[in-house]
A and B are shown apart, each in its own frame.
Chain A
Amino acid sequence: MSDLEYPEDLRYTAEHEWVRSQGNGAVRIGITSYAQDALGDVVYVSLPTVGDTVAAGDACGEVESTKSVSDLYAPLAGEISAVNDALDATPELVNSDPYGDGWMYELRLEDDSALDGLMDRAAYQSQLG
């Protein structure tokens, strides 16, 4: 696992998702380097619909590799404000650039301060063991 990266400026969840503050109450969400490596080649991503309202912990999409399926969980409550349509045609971006072009969706937070409740890099890495 030593070659997998976890950027300092992100927040993380136990479901192996990352959350990046966009400022103005919105966050961008994707899956971590650990998650994409565990899944293997990502071949299909099913994302929520812009305008949907989600509660923290809601299953709101799926990531599939050749061999398995994982649910995407909303890390925080809010409204879906954008989805990464590029993943329809190029789901492999989740493997090649999980924190960049492989992002999944954006959420307008119900409560800005909820972001602080998520794990920082050190906490996430320590739970990876």
Chain B
Amino acid sequence: MSNGALKTSPVHDRHVALGAKMADFGGWEMPIEYPGGGVVREHTVVRTSVGIFDVSHLGKASVRGPGARELVNRCLANDLGRIEPGKAQYTLCCNDTGGVVDDLIAYLRADDDVFLIPNAANTAAVVELLAAAAPDDVEVRDLHEDFGVLAVQGSKSDEVLTALGLPAGHEYMSFVDAQWEGVPVTVCRTGYTGERGYEVVAPWEATARLWDALLTAAEPYAGLPCGLGSRDTLRTEMGYALHGHELTPEITPVQARVGWAVGWKKEQFWGKEALEKEKAQGPRRVSWGLLATGRGIPRAACEVRSGGEVVGVVTSGTFSPTLKQGIALALLAPTVAAGDQVVVDVRGREVPAEVTRPPFVEVDVREG
């Protein structure tokens, strides 16, 4: 990105034609919101019906060869022994101090074939680290611009996929390979909204056609194209971590409360020693939700105080379109507990907030 040029998704011309507001996401020019939608309306349509997102900026990488599964398992944090081929897993790529280089989804295809979806800005780093650790017969390839990814999210997502003849209804965190108009696609029951939904991985050159077909299929349900603005408010309502905010090379999974994505019993993974030590000692700060009880919207980097003392900092904050209140995720001192009343310094104004455990809204992402 040294020349400042942004990469564009295979659906870019569709976004431009729709008049989307575009912005830089990890070096990619992606839609924030669409005219006729807007963040609140796009958010609401996902919570009530269905929305279609282009998330082709997400990375894609393959790890192939004898021992591919073993390589990923001894490097990344989660335990690939917990899942079978055909299942996907949320996992973490940690550094030696236990900080998070990236959080990503691993699709276990076979013992010799693992497909990864890292964050856009971290893909090259993850690929480089894995390639350096790989034995000669395991190949790690960056396929960032070989595949597009479209997310179909909301209670009507099964109907939309079925209308295209695509598989739907499979178990949460499982994937199914299929053919769509002669091209191979993978439909994975994953998402970043908290709603029932799928992410469809398609060949780069077929992604725009698939986008058109999904939007048409969503019309009977008043579905909308949704930008990354609403994706962010949706994930914040769920308390899902966003790399660069809740997870960074300086923030560990123990602090961010994603220790459930760490295979503690494994013999090795990157950062194991540091993380075990931190877990035993107790983290010096922990991620919480903050629900603004006064008027105002906490934002990233706002200081959090309790009884006049600084107890932490906001990592993400926004307006919850569902609750119509300010919500935030914050790293707070271990002395803070659920139900505590704190204040957030929002540009010099004190906004009272209650400490909670996310999600902020009730959803049924796993429901059969």
CA distance A44 to B324 in the complex (A): 10
Q: Counting chain B CB atoms within 10 Å of each CB, which of A43, A44, A62, A65 scores highest?
A: A43
Quick one: given A40-B33, A44-B295, A44-B319, are A66 and B21 in contact (CB under 8 Å)?
no
Which A80-109 residues have a C-beta within 8 angstroms of B? 88, 92, 95
- Beyond A40-B33, A40-B229, A41-B38, whether A67 also contacts B297 by CB under 8 A is no
Q: Is B283 an interface residue (CB 8 A)?
A: no
With A66-B39, A69-B299 as known contacts, state yes or no: A43 contacts B319, CB within 8 Å.
yes
Known contacts A41-B38, A41-B40; decide if A66 and B296 are in contact (CB<8 Å). no
Return chain A residues, CB-CB under 8 Å to B295: 44, 46, 88
Residues on B with beta carbons closer than 8 Å to the beta carbon of A88? 295
Number of chain A residues whose Cβ lies closer than 8 Å to a Cβ of chain B: 14
A41 contacts which chain B residues (CB < 8 A)? 38-41
Chain A residues closer than 8 Å to B321, beta-carbon distance: 43, 66
Tell me if B32 is interfacial: C-beta within 8 Å of chain A. yes
Whether B39 contacts A67 by the Cβ 8 Å rule is: yes
Q: Tell me if A120 is interfacial: C-beta within 8 Å of chain B.
A: no
Report B-chain residues with C-beta under 8 Å of the C-beta of A43. 40, 297, 319, 321
Asked if A66 and B318 sit within 8 Å, CB to CB, the answer is yes
B32 near A67 with CB under 8 A, answer: yes
A41 to B347, CA, bound (A): 21
Q: Is the interface of B mostly helix, strand, loop or mixed?
A: mixed
- Which A residues are CB-close (under 8 A) to B232? 67
Q: Which A2-60 residues sit within 8 Å CB-CB of chain B?
A: 40-41, 43-44, 46
**Do residues B39 and A44 form an inter-chain contact, with CB atoms below 8 A?**
no
Complex CA distance for A14 and B326, rounded to whole angstroms: 30
Which A residue's beta carbon lies closest to that of B41?
Answer: A41
Quick one: CB contact mask for B29-51 with A, threshold 8 Å, 1 for yes?
00011000011110100000000
Q: A83 to B198: give the CA distance in the assembly, Å.
A: 46
For A41, A64, A65, A88, which residue has the most chain B Cβ atoms within 10 angstroms?
A: A41
A3 to B, closest residue via Cβ? B35
Q: Is B95 among interface residues, defined by CB-CB distance under 8 A?
A: no
B21–A40 touching, CB < 8 Å: yes
Residues of B within 8 A of A95 (CB): 38
Chain A residues positioned under 8 Å from B41 (CB to CB): 41
Shortest distance in angstroms between B229's beta carbon and chain A's nearest beta carbon? 6
Known: A64-B319, A66-B233. A44 touches B40 (CB 8 A): no
Complex-state Cα separation, A46 to B296, whole angstroms: 8
A-chain residues with CB within 8 Å of residue B299 when the two chains form the complex = 69
Minimum Cβ distance to chain B for residue A41 (Å) = 4
Known contacts A66-B233, A69-B299; decide if A40 and B319 are in contact (CB<8 Å): no
Closest CB-CB distance, A6 to chain B, in whole Å? 19
B40 touches A67 (CB 8 A): no
Partner of B297, one of A40, A64, A92: A64
Q: Tell me which residues across on chain B come within 8 A of A66, comparing CB atoms.
A: 39-40, 43, 229, 233, 318-319, 321
In the assembled complex, the CB of B47 is this many whole angstroms from the nearest CB of chain A, namely 14
**Docked CA distance A50–B223 (Å):** 44
Tell me whether A67 and B296 are in contact in the complex, defined as CB-CB below 8 angstroms, given that A40-B21, A41-B40 are known contacts: no
Nearest neighbor of B39 in chain A, beta-carbon distance: A66
State the A residues within 8 Å of B (CB): 40-41, 43-44, 46, 62, 64-67, 69, 88, 92, 95
- Extra inter-chain contacts (18) besides given A44-B326, A46-B295, CB under 8 Å: A40-B21, A40-B33, A40-B38, A40-B229, A41-B38, A41-B41, A43-B319, A43-B321, A44-B296, A44-B297, A62-B347, A66-B39, A66-B229, A66-B319, A66-B321, A67-B39, A69-B297, A69-B299
The 10 closest A-B pairs by CB, nearest first: A43-B319, A66-B39, A41-B40, A41-B38, A41-B39, A66-B319, A64-B297, A67-B229, A66-B233, A44-B297
Q: Which residues of B contact A (CB under 8 A)?
A: 21, 32-33, 38-41, 43, 229, 232-233, 295-297, 299, 318-319, 321, 326, 347, 349
22 A-B residue pairs with Cβ-Cβ distance under 8 Å, sorted by A, are A40-B32, A40-B33, A40-B229, A41-B38, A41-B40, A43-B40, A43-B321, A44-B319, A44-B326, A46-B295, A46-B296, A46-B349, A65-B39, A66-B39, A66-B40, A66-B43, A66-B318, A66-B319, A67-B32, A67-B232, A69-B299, A92-B40
